[in-house]
Amino acid sequence: MRQIFFDTETTGLEADKGDRVIEVGCVEMVNRQLTGNHLHLYINPERASHEDALRVHGLTEAFLSDKPKFAEIVDQLLAFLAGAELVIHNASFDIGFINAELKRLKRGVLTDHVGGVRDTLLMARDLFPGKANSLDALCRRLEVDNTKRVLHGALLDAELLADVYIRLTRGQDALLMDEHGDNASGDSHAAIEAVDLCRFVLPVLHASEAEAAAHEKLLADLDKAAGGACKWRVLEPAQPMA
């Protein structure tokens, strides 16, 4: 599967009111391994950024003044994204801005050109309900090093998102392909030696009387707080009659 981790920076928050894309970062992953291919573009938005946005990304009007306009990079961008699944954090924001740019050029919408879209913000909300799920928050929670992220940058954020995604989906620790591809040995059906687990004697640790009593008290307190509605009390086996 070919996936592109995708991020943008913009002049503001409202694509429908004239805010524009000023930076695009794309990082390619194939079969859950980074390939080293990426696309990074700065774009002249033909307008200034809002002050709040400028504080986030630091891309000034002067810096962007000699960069290509979106119409000049659209073919390059769509060719890189073609057929891939896009992985985006808060996908509706980035897709809304790219769609607004494509609409100006009568080039359809982004989903006409890609294989699908996966939103890691929605994934994180399912996994961590009620918690902060910004990219920075996920980096902290999942132990992804984001110490270089002083200002937001589309390419750096896409690279961080790739690492976050792997950890969100519990896939693997290593992201980069080695020079031999997926399997360094070249043998995808290497024999695995069977282990006889019967020879292992596993220790069984029993709770002491004091620990068992403390546990029962905790359960009783929880049951009382729940008004007698705790399911484990219902499922407890009946005590034998004397």
- Give the model confidence (pLDDT) of 12-21 as tens digits: 999 999 999 9
In a domain, 191, yes or no: no
Q: Are residue 120 and residue 219 in the same domain, yes or no?
A: no
- The two tokens of residue 116 are 């699908």
| 113 part of the active site | no
In a domain, 173, yes or no: no
In a domain, 13, yes or no: yes
pLDDT, residue 93, reads 96
* Average pLDDT, integer, range 51-72: 94
| 133 vs 198, more confident | 133
Q: Are residue 103 and residue 216 in the same domain, yes or no?
A: no
Examine the fold and report which residue of 142, 168, 194 is the final residue of a domain before the chain moves on. Answer: 168
In a domain, 192, yes or no: no
In a domain, 175, yes or no: no
Taking all residues of the chain, what is their mean pLDDT, rounded to a whole number?
86
Q: Are residue 104 and residue 209 in the same domain, yes or no?
A: no
Could you say which of 152, 180, 189, 206 is catalytic?
152
pLDDT, residue 228, reads 74
Residue 152 has pLDDT above 70, yes or no: yes
In a domain, 63, yes or no: yes
pLDDT, residue 236, reads 63
* Average pLDDT, integer, range 187-200: 60
In a domain, 179, yes or no: no
Q: Are residue 150 and residue 41 in the same domain, yes or no?
A: yes
Q: Are residue 216 and residue 164 in the same domain, yes or no?
A: no
Q: Are residue 48 and residue 163 in the same domain, yes or no?
A: yes
* Lowest mean pLDDT across 122-126, 181-185, 210-214: 181-185
Q: Are residue 35 and residue 98 in the same domain, yes or no?
A: yes
* Lowest mean pLDDT across 147-156, 219-228, 230-239: 230-239
| 235 vs 238, more confident | 235
In a domain, 145, yes or no: yes
Query: What range defines the domain where residue 11 resides?
Result: 2-168
Q: Are residue 110 and residue 24 in the same domain, yes or no?
A: yes
Residue 174 has pLDDT above 50, yes or no: no
Q: Are residue 117 and residue 225 in the same domain, yes or no?
A: no
Residue 204 has pLDDT above 70, yes or no: yes
The answer to whether 2 and 84 are in contact (CB under 8 A) is yes
Q: pTM higher than 0.95 for the full model?
A: no
Q: Are residue 214 and residue 151 in the same domain, yes or no?
A: no
Domain count, the chain: 2
Name the pLDDT band for 5 (thresholds 50, 70, 90). very high
Q: Are residue 19 and residue 85 in the same domain, yes or no?
A: yes
* Lowest mean pLDDT across 9-23, 94-108, 164-178: 164-178
> What's the CATH number where 101 sits?
3.30.420.10
Residue 218 has pLDDT above 50, yes or no: yes
Q: Are residue 149 and residue 220 in the same domain, yes or no?
A: no
Residue 229 has pLDDT above 80, yes or no: no
pLDDT, residue 239, reads 54
* Average pLDDT, integer, range 194-208: 75
